[in-house]
Amino acid sequence: MTILTRPPLLGIAIAVSVILHVTLGLWRPDGEVGVWWSDLIGIPPFLLAGLACLRVAAGPEGDGRAAWRAFGLGLLAFAAGDLVWTYLELVRRVQPFPSVADVLYLSMPVAFVVGFLTVLRPGLSRPWRLRNVLDMAVVLGAAALISWRFIISAIVEMDGFAGQPVARVVALAYPALDLALLGLALLLTVQGSVLHRLRSGLVALGLVCIAVADSLFAYLGAHDAYGSGGVTDQFWSVGAALIGAAALRRVPPEAAGLPAAHPRWWAAAPYLAIGAVTALQFTTYGVRGPATVGVLIGGSVLTLLIVARQALSVRDNQRLTEALRNLSDGLEARVAERTEALRQQGAALDQANAALRALSQGLELKVIERTAALEASRAQLAYQAQHDALTSLPNRTVLEDRLTQAANAASRYGGLTAVMFIDLDGFKFVNDTFGHVAGDAVLLEVGRRLQDCVRSADTVARLGGDEFVVLLTHVSHVTDVRAVAQRIVSRLARPIALAGQDVSITASVGVALYPDDAHTPQQLLGNADVAMYAAKQRGKNTVQFYAPSMNLAAQRRSLVERQLRGALACGAFTLHYQPQHDAAGAVCAFEALLRWTDPDLGAVSPAEFIPVAEDAGLIVPIGAWVLDEACRQWAQWRQEALPVVRMAVNVSPTQFAREDFVASVVQILDRHGMAAHHLELELTEQLVVQDIQTTAAKMQALRDRGVRIAVDDFGSGHSALSYLMRLPVSTLKIDRAFIHDLGRVDGASRVVGAITALAHALELEVVAEGVETAAQLREIRELGCEFTQGYLLGRPGPADQARATLLQLGGHPVVVGAPEQP
């Protein structure tokens, strides 16, 4: 089946040009216009057909591209010949035959001969080739005799060519080359080529039309009777159009090529040719001349060729009969041998069949086992896709699905659905201090404890990191949710045995209820997250139920975090310094306090931005800047010959947990030329009680250098007195809450006195924080507390204010570079 794939406009143009030539060629205007019309109207078919052939030759298909290129060039040469003919006849006013136009005309059959030679199939057998040559010789001989009888002999005998040998040769060249084209077309049809049968047929039919036109042109030219625009020109146009149509037809690759076998009609072709020659001989009866003699001699030669053809066929038939007989005998012998071999192999085949049956049974068992393994693997993959890899708790995907189901059930049947968003307080410190293996162990224990706190119908899921979610379904009252939340906080606050010691963590829990706090499951989960952050801001280790106002707080926190990320690079941080006083009221130290003023947010409280910095992982670079800036300021005061006092700097647990913390402190001291005993690092009580071995080792390394260590906010957390005996601490700072309660709460005075006595028993200095009234100052001094810090004696202020305080101290300043003993 052929497929038209070329753009149809070219084919339409060829068809229109031929129709115009055939139709309008029969009628033309009179005079000079008519002559121009007749000469030019035959050019478009050849030009368009040539372009069609060249387009095929330039395409990607491999269907005889060299042949199509030759065909295209031949057609374009013919079109050029028409242009030359028109120029000679109408512009130069000379006889265009013979002329350069004939050279261009005759180039077309030569180009087609070259093209045919590129597509013929090689490799046919010798007998087939010899028989084929005889058949073609008979057919071509008949065609040659017919041409001789009516065209060639007439051209030879014509007096019009007397004295014009070139004209006679040109006139004879047309039928001669047409006979060559006819022979090649027959060979193309019989022997086969890489061209498709339909394309070959269209090309052959087009060549027949061109051959007829060439023969008429030669004959009429010999008689000086040719005129432009006649039937001869129309045959040329039709022939060109048929070749162009062949070019525009495309076939699938599997359908290309002709079989190397005789077409059915070819068997009768030689006999038809002989019949035609016999009829031609009757036309010469009674006629004398070269034409008659040539026909008689040619007919005799063709008859001999037919006889030779028949003899060759008889010999081939005998050879084939003998070969068939030998082949039959051989086949019978091989069948007998094969039958005997099969009989002998019967037993072996039976054994093979038994082995195959056993193998088949084994394969079936393996397939069953493999199928079961694949099903188990598929189930395992499905489980892993829905559960956390570490804790085996449901992951976010399962949580969202169950949350949707619970919300739908609550909407349909009533009741409440509660979501608790749980974030572990201090987990990052545990992870950084003990390592990720220990952190994983903590997460596993937290997962087990959470499951112990809820019903089997409830869901405990891990979202990632240290974030967990508890989903409570079919809840009757809010008090039930609050009881579960408090139970979770209490259970998670219990110490966890880790690496031979107890580690304490807490949890901040945010609770949101459906449908009270949200309309969609996603909104419910988000509101629980907002409530969790509110719990962290309220001191952690607590439960917070969602309230709409928390969204504003969450937005504020997000804004603070976003602005905080660029604050250090922009130089938005400053340090204020609050003095510490001894029992006589003299300034003995300054505590460096971080302050942040943002261009958009204004002054942001440390109580607000420091927890955000810790959660966002920004506290380490900020803490390093604070320590460096405080030591730099101390060095500047010393260069100004101001009295030398201690500089106290707060250190976050995350910052202290870094392996290079001790080295970084030493490096800062060396860079600013600060004696180590003038630096006091304030550590929170939470840091002191975590990882006692690592903490003690780092503290001891700092103490060996001379750095002082203070425990900040002592008494506000889980104080462990045994740790104070094992850690190289130099100072205890009593939490401001105890100082605030002096004179207000019964027993506050005894607690402060007990802490002071304990510190003195351990040979530690005591600093009372938050002293704001004269009564508080008087009482703590009576209790033996030798150092104070608070608004009563000194508020925090910038470096200039601290400098002014130092100037008021007077005394003898320490000379830079003088030896200092800790």
Choose among 801, 806, 822: nearest CA to 593: 801
Cα–Cα dist 413/351, whole Å: 72
At 258, give phi and psi (nearest 5°). Answer: -105, 150
How much helix, strand and coil, in percent to the nearest 5, is found in the chain? 65, 15, 25
What is the rounded distance in angstroms from the CA atom of residue 477 to the CA atom of residue 563?
Answer: 41
pLDDT of 820 reads 36
The larger pLDDT score, comparing residue 196 to residue 390, is at: 390
Closest alpha carbon to 62 in 235, 190, 193, 192: 193
Residues 6+ apart with CB under 8 A from 9: none
- pLDDT value, residue 454: 94
Q: Peptide bond before 98: cis, by omega within 30 degrees of 0? A: yes
Of the CA atoms within 13 Å of residue 527, those in its CB half-sphere come to 21
For 576-602, how does the pLDDT look when each residue is reduced to its tens digit (9 = 90+)?
999 999 988 899 999 999 999 999 899
Q: What is the pLDDT of residue 814?
A: 37
Amino acid sitting at position 428:
K
Check pLDDT > 70 for residue 633: yes
Q: How confident is the model over 435-463, as a mean pLDDT?
A: 92
What is the pLDDT at residue 3? 38
pLDDT of residue 821: 36
Tokens, residue 774: 């004269």
Predicted pLDDT at 645: 94
Phi-psi region of 286 (alpha: psi -120 to 50; beta: other; left: phi over 0): left
Nearest to 86 by CA among 38, 46, 118: 38
715 and 735 in contact (C-beta within 8 Å)?
Answer: yes
Say how many CA atoms lie within 13 Å of 421 toward its Cβ. Answer: 25
SS3 404: helix
Q: What is the CA radius of gyration of the chain?
A: 56
> Among 401, 405, 403, 488, which residue's Cα sits nearest to residue 451?
488
Question: What is the residue-wise DSSP string for 34-61?
Answer: HHHHHHHTTHHHHHHHHHHHHHHHHSS-
Classify residue 706 by burial, with Cβ atoms within 10 Å: 0-12, 13-18, 19+: middle
| Residue 645 Ramachandran class (φ > 0 left, ψ -120 to 50 alpha, else beta) | beta
Region of poorest pLDDT, from 84-93, 382-391, 635-644: 84-93
pLDDT at 624 over 90: yes
The CA distance from 799 to 592, in Å, is 10
Q: How many CB atoms lie within 10 A of CB 236?
A: 25
pLDDT in tens, 154-163: 666 665 555 5
Give the 3-state secondary structure of residue 507: strand
Alpha-carbon span 527 to 531, nearest angstrom: 6
- pLDDT per residue as tens digits for the range 543-565: 999 988 888 877 888 889 899 99
User: Cβ(185)–Cβ(209) under 8 Å?
Assistant: no
Element (H, E) at 277: helix 269-283
Close Cβ partners of 739 (under 8 Å, ≥ 6 residues apart): 752, 768, 769, 770, 771, 776, 780, 790
Q: What is the pairing mode between strands 646-651 and 679-684?
A: parallel
Mean pLDDT along residues 268-296: 63
Per-residue pLDDT tens over the stretch 422-440: 999 888 878 877 788 888 9
Determine contact, residues 420/472, Cβ cutoff 8 Å.
Answer: yes
pLDDT > 70 in the chain, percent? 77
CA nearest neighbour of 490 among 479, 504, 477, 502: 504
Number of residues that this document lists for the chain? 822
Q: Indicate whether 147 pLDDT > 70.
A: no
| 90 secondary structure, DSSP code | I
Q: What is the pLDDT of residue 330?
A: 83
Inter-axis angle of helices 661-672 and 619-639, nearest 10 = 30
User: CA 141, CA 133: separation in Å to the nearest integer?
Assistant: 12
Percentage of residues in the chain having pLDDT higher than 90: 32
Residue 692 has pLDDT above 90, yes or no: no
Is 109 within 8 Å of 74 (Cβ atoms)?
Answer: yes
CB neighbourhood size of 131 (10 A): 17
Instruction: Give the phi and the psi of residue 162 in degrees, each rounded to 5.
Output: -60, 125
Q: Which of 2-6, 69-73, 331-335, 621-625 has the lowest mean pLDDT?
A: 2-6
Which residues, including other chains, have CB under 8 Å from residue 526's CB and lie 6 or more apart?
A: 518
- Is 61 a residue whose pLDDT tops 80? no
Mean pLDDT of 383-408: 90
Strands 646-651 and 587-598: parallel
pLDDT at 68: 83
Q: Which two tokens stand for residue 729?
A: 């601490």
How far is Cα 121 from Cα 610, in angstroms, rounded to an integer?
90
Instruction: Return the higher-pLDDT residue of 328 and 291.
Output: 328
Please, what's the largest Cα pairwise distance for the chain? 166
**Nearest CA to 152 among 166, 168, 169, 172?**
172
Alpha-carbon distances of 535 from 166, 547, 551, 613, rounded to whole Å? 115, 12, 13, 16
Measured CA to CA, the distance from residue 535 to residue 506 in angstroms comes to: 12
Name every residue whose Cβ is closer than 8 Å to that of residue 220 and which is 6 or more positions away in sequence: 226, 232
Distance (Å, rounded) from C-alpha 426 to C-alpha 474?
Answer: 33
Among the ranges given (487-501, 572-586, 636-650, 784-798), the one the predictor scored with the smallest mean pLDDT: 487-501
Residue that has been written with the tokens 């003690």 in this structure: 696
- How far is it, in rounded angstroms, from Cα 419 to Cα 513? 6
Q: Locate 223 and state its tokens.
A: 């008689």
> Among 126-135, 197-206, 350-359, 721-730, whose mean pLDDT is lowest?
126-135
Contact present, 699 and 689 (Cβ < 8 Å): no
The predicted pLDDT at position 816 comes to 31
Regarding beta strands 602-604 and 587-598, do their DSSP bridges make them parallel or antiparallel, or are they unpaired?
Answer: antiparallel
Per-residue pLDDT at 193 exceeds 60: no
Query: Rounded to 5 degrees, what are φ and ψ at 457?
Result: -80, -15
- For 416-436, b where at least 16 C-beta lie within 10 A, e where not — what string? bbbbbbbbbbbbbbbbbbbee
Q: Give the pLDDT confidence score for residue 26 in this predicted structure.
A: 60
Which residue blocks in 653-769 are alpha helix, DSSP H?
Answer: 653-657, 661-672, 685-689, 692-705, 721-726, 736-740, 748-761
- Predicted confidence band at 442 (pLDDT cuts at 50, 70, 90)? very high
d(CA 532, CA 397): 21
Contact call for residues 793 and 577 (beta carbons, < 8 A): no
Contact 556, 598 (CB under 8 A): no
3-state secondary structure 206-237: HHHHHHHHHHHHHHHHHCCCCCCCCHHHHHHH
Residues whose CB is less than 8 angstroms from the CB of residue 344 and which lie 6 or more positions away in sequence, other chains included = none
- Considering the entire predicted model, what is its pTM? 0.48
Determine the Cα–Cα distance for residues 72 and 115; give it in Å rounded to an integer: 10
**42 vs 239: CA distance, rounded Å:** 11
